[in-house]
Amino acid sequence: MKFLKVNINTAAPRDPEASILLIYTGGTIGMVSDKEDHHLVPFDFSEVIHRVPEIRQFKVMLTVLSLDPPIDSSNVGVEHWVKLAQVIQVNYHEYDGFVILHGTDTMAYSASALSFLLENLGKPVIFTGAQVPIGRMRTDARRNIITALEIASAHRKGRALVPEVSIFFNTVLLRGNRSTKVESRHFNAFHSGKYPQLAKAGIDIEYNNSVILPAPSQSLRIYQELESQVAVMKLFPGINQSLVEAMLKAEGLKGLVLETFGAGNAPTYPWFLKLLREAVDRGITILNVSQCEEGEVHQGQYETSLYLKEMGVIGGSDISTEAAITKMMFVLAQEVPHPEKVRMLEMDLRGEMTLRN
């Protein structure tokens, strides 16, 4: 996988306010209709930049890297996340901020993964994309790119205003690992129901400073390993025993995110309890997350979650599924003893969950 430096005539103002690395990975934002069969396919980023001439007026030094070839974000994998983290590490001291153009479908997963791979991040890494391709009249791409660039450049007394991985979309800036795609038709595609917005863009961009992560006291550390032997199991009433069994006994499985009902509840069918208990005993790490858009997992509140706690299932508080699966990939790849992995999953590592006593 490689990134190409795109040669575009970007602004190089005499007195730049900031330097930004714009990384184009693909997605609707840069798509055009295929001439033959009319479905949308990604195209070359140098074409895209011609569509946002406003970028050239920006008082920032801009460098553009383009994934070659660009991808639909449904094809994003662990290797793309590691590569993006490496690109940020290599360029970290040269730029004040990073804007990643990415398909919306899996943007919340990618933003969550990057948040775990980049520890002690002191600069903005902002994901954005579009619902309507940049070549169309009513595209939302222009506004999303321009506002993301503005937020990535924003600093006060030499410090970035938003030193974390975030998603800017439509009018809101959200913490990356708190975001979920909720809309496939309208412009307000992302939501973070369990955590406040980091900023709101209207006439001005209003920052909600008290909920933005503080600047780190240590220097950036990147991680390059993620465990891919993980799965998500969404519970539903009437779930079938052979399906649960096949999943829990899948060869090589190391971790499971269990999407439960309400405050972390699951059926108490004897076969279900037995399969879960055996999985935990085989060393499979299970993280309990709620299917609810708001609220949190509270194992032990009901009998239907007490047994989960007793058998060693980890309560995920208000973590989203996107953050839970990527956190699990991250934590299970660490070379630390199992109890330390459990402790990390219970902890708030990058602002991804709220801890309540």
| Residues engaged in binding ligand ASP (CB under 6 A) | 26-28, 72-74, 103-105, 129, 131
User: Is 28 assigned a catalytic role?
Assistant: yes
Strand, coil or helix: what is 50?
Answer: helix
Q: Which residue is nearest to ligand ASP (CB)?
A: 103
Give the shortest CB-130-to-ligand ASP separation in angstroms: 7
**List 10, 25, 104, 321, catalytic entry:** 104
- Please report, for the chain, how many H helices and E strands are present, in that order: 9, 21
For residue 340, the tally of other CB atoms under 10 A from its CB is 12
Quote the least distance from Cβ 47 to ligand ASP, whole Å: 16
Of 139 and 192, nearer to ligand ASP (C-beta) is: 139
Alpha-carbon distance of 286 to 104, in angstroms, equals 28
| Closer residue to ligand ASP, CB minimum distance, 124 or 129 | 129
Q: Cα(54)–Cα(281) distance, rounded to whole angstroms?
A: 58
Q: Which is nearer to ligand ASP, 184 or 240 (CB)?
A: 184
Q: Is there a binding annotation on residue 219?
A: no
Amino acid identity of 228?
A: S
The residue assigned the tokens 């007394």 is: 157
104 is catalytic: yes
Residue 110 Cβ, how far from ligand ASP at the closest point, in Å?
10
Of the pair 131, 285, the CB lying nearest ligand ASP is at 131
Is there a binding annotation on residue 73?
yes
**Could you tell me whether strands 255-260 and 230-234 are parallel, antiparallel, or unpaired per DSSP bridges?**
parallel
Measured torsion, CA atoms of residues 101, 104, 107, 108, in degrees rounded to the nearest 10: 140
Question: Quick check: 314 and 353 in contact, CB under 8 A?
Answer: no
Residue found under tokens 């800017």: 168
In the set 10, 25, 28, 139, the catalytic residue is 28
Tokens of 196: 């406040």
Which residues does 238 contact at the CB level (< 8 Å), separation at least 6? none
Whichever of 129 and 351 has its CB closer to ligand ASP, that residue is 129
Question: Closest separation between CB of residue 74 and ligand ASP, Å?
Answer: 6
Of 169, 157, 154, 170, which is closest to residue 212 (Cα–Cα)?
154
Q: Is 290 annotated as a binding residue?
A: no
Which H helix or E strand runs over 110? helix 107-117
Q: How far is the CB of 161 from ligand ASP (least distance, A)?
A: 26
The annotation places the binding site for substrate at: 73, 104-105
The catalytic site residues sit at: 28, 104
The annotation places the binding site at: 73, 104-105
